[in-house]
Amino acid sequence: MSRQFPWGHLKRYNDFPSHFRGKFKTRVQKVSVDAGFTCPNRDGVRGTGGCTYCNNKTFKPTYCGLERSITSQIRQGVDFFGRKYQSMQFLAYFQAYSNTYAPVNILRNLYDEALRHPKIIGLVIATRPDCVGKEVLDYLEELSSKYYVMVEFGIESHRDETLRRINRGHNFEEAVIALEETSKRGINNCAHFILGLPGENREMMLEQAKVVSQLPVNNLKLHQLQIHKETVLAAQYNEHPERFNLFTAGEYIDLVVDYLELLNPGIIVERFISQAPPGLLIAPKWGLKNFEFIDKVEKQLALRDTWQGRLFAQ
């Protein structure tokens, strides 16, 4: 017997593609933009060296590069994705580093340039919780009254001890404030977490689902810990691999299902895994594409006859 879930369809979790189709009534695709930002834990404001796991090459498309203007990057991305669907619309995805880490007048120039493209209907802005002061929030609130705006916060863990260990440069309370401030201003937000960070066990990760569920989070991105080349984490892994407990695909699928059971059903789940280019990935190597992993999660949810929020307690 099929079951209708609180999010209005038959999938066993509140998935992002279904939400987007319902919101925009047409195909919408993100196109990545590199606008040349940096981070406060790279330039000395909060720290140096960046996060221990971070290699921006792992998620930046080849058409993104500082030698190209924002207009050029968007045009190339739109041309690439729009070949198949002429009616497709796009969101400019400011993805590399911390994309609110600049004075508001600079942000206005950069975001306005992206929004001038006729097929761009909004912005997705990846940043850190410590990079959204009042002026930035006021501007994002203004933009949100005219366009779709999603601010994607790299939070990574709810435990301050872990955040210190990975050289994150902010604490969890700052993340809570950033989520609350965007929410009360009507700005869409997304919380990004990594499961499997050094020092965290399964119990801690499932506790995170309970903590996140009590916060004003619109969207959630999860991904498994990956060891990328050219990172501090890679050096730590090479020296002490016994300190890392990297998931097998099966173990991670079970963890994701357990996490979903505890998760507030109102939170839209945007992603479960990250896929790094093979040439940059050290471990774990699952050989699974995103759609293949989603299929396995959906099968496991059905096998266990469970769903997102089944164990959610308000």
What is the distance between the alpha carbons of residues 77 and 84, in angstroms, rounded to a whole number?
13
What is the reported pLDDT for 209? 98
pTM value is 0.93
Token pair of 129, please? 């919780």
Kindly tell me if the per-residue pLDDT of 262 is higher than 60: yes
Burial 48-60 (b: 16+ CB within 10 A, else e): eebbbbbbeebbb
- Residue 172, C-beta contacts closer than 8 angstroms, at least 6 positions apart: 155, 157, 158, 159, 160, 163
Interval 199-258: pLDDT, tens: 999 999 999 999 999 999 999 999 999 999 999 999 999 999 888 889 999 999 999 999
Interval 152-174: pLDDT, tens: 999 999 999 999 999 999 999 99
Torsion of CA 279, 280, 284, 289, to 10 degrees: -70
Checking 1-4 for CB contacts under 8 A at 24+ apart, the result is 3/307
The CATH code that applies to domain 16-303 is 3.30.750.200
What is the distance between the alpha carbons of residues 189 and 225, in angstroms, rounded to a whole number?
22
What is the reported pLDDT for 65? 58
Kindly tell me if the per-residue pLDDT of 189 is higher than 80: yes
- Residue 54's φ and ψ, nearest 5 degrees, are -90, 125
* Percent helix, strand and coil across the chain, each to the nearest 5: 40, 15, 45
User: Quick one: CA dihedral 256, 258, 264, 266, positive or negative?
Assistant: positive
What does the pLDDT average to over 46-61?
A: 73
User: Quick one: CA dihedral 46, 49, 53, 56, positive or negative?
Assistant: positive
Listed by start position, the domains of the chain span 16-303
Token pair of 95, please? 């993805």
Label residue 1 by pLDDT band (50, 70, 90).
very low
| Percent of all residues in the chain with a pLDDT value above 70, rounded to a whole number | 96
Label residue 142 by pLDDT band (50, 70, 90).
very high
* Eight-state DSSP code of residue 58: G
Kindly tell me if the per-residue pLDDT of 64 is higher than 80: no
Label residue 57 by pLDDT band (50, 70, 90).
low
Query: In DSSP terms, which residues pair with 220 in a beta bridge?
Result: 191, 269
